[in-house]
Amino acid sequence: MRKLVILIISRIRATYYQLRYRSRVQLAIPQRRFEGHLDIRAVKNGKIIIGARNNFRQGCHLITTHNGLIDIGSANFFNYNVSITSLDSVSIGDDCKIANNVVIVDHDHDFRNNNNGYQTAPVTIKNGVWIGANAVITKGVTIGDHAVIAAGAVVVKDVANRTVVGGVPAKEITRF
């Protein structure tokens, strides 16, 4: 019975987003859970693709604009207040765990040009990654398979597979 309810709720939410955004939002069925409000916005040709069996806690934001793309795989967990914003491309693989208050962005304001415009570069988070609470993932970063990002880390450069990083800016702590 519970699986049937989850399937029905997933279908209703998918239908809502497809009616609102047409082909700019693709939401696979079923999803594990949408707890509370999930803020999905695809503005000015932005596109969001969400695979099946993801779990979104309350207060998550997925925002894309200016031809940006957010592509989320399957079986991921997003804790409270995760914010993902894309003007270029943010890709998240499968089986990732993202803790509360994590920010993932693929752009910066172009401060050298009086904050007119943006500097963008794709963000790629591969499979099985764990990102701790209050971490920030910045533009142009690739995080390898099964990497661990410590709580509070600011990731400004690539992280190798099976590597633990932490600090501001994030530095390698160990490999496993």
Total structural domains in the chain?
A: 1
Residue 67 to residue 70: CA distance in whole angstroms? 10
- As given in the structure block, the two tokens for residue 3 are 């699986």
Residue 29 to residue 114: CA distance in whole angstroms? 44
CATH number at residue 16: 2.160.10.10
For the whole model, what pTM was predicted? 0.91
Q: Give the domain extent around 153.
A: 2-175
Q: Give the active site residues.
A: 109
Each residue's pLDDT tens digit, 40-80: 999 989 999 999 999 999 999 999 988 999 999 999 999 99
- Of the candidates 111, 117, 64, which has an alpha carbon nearest to the alpha carbon of residue 87? 64
Each residue's pLDDT tens digit, 118-154: 899 999 999 999 999 999 999 999 999 999 999 999 9
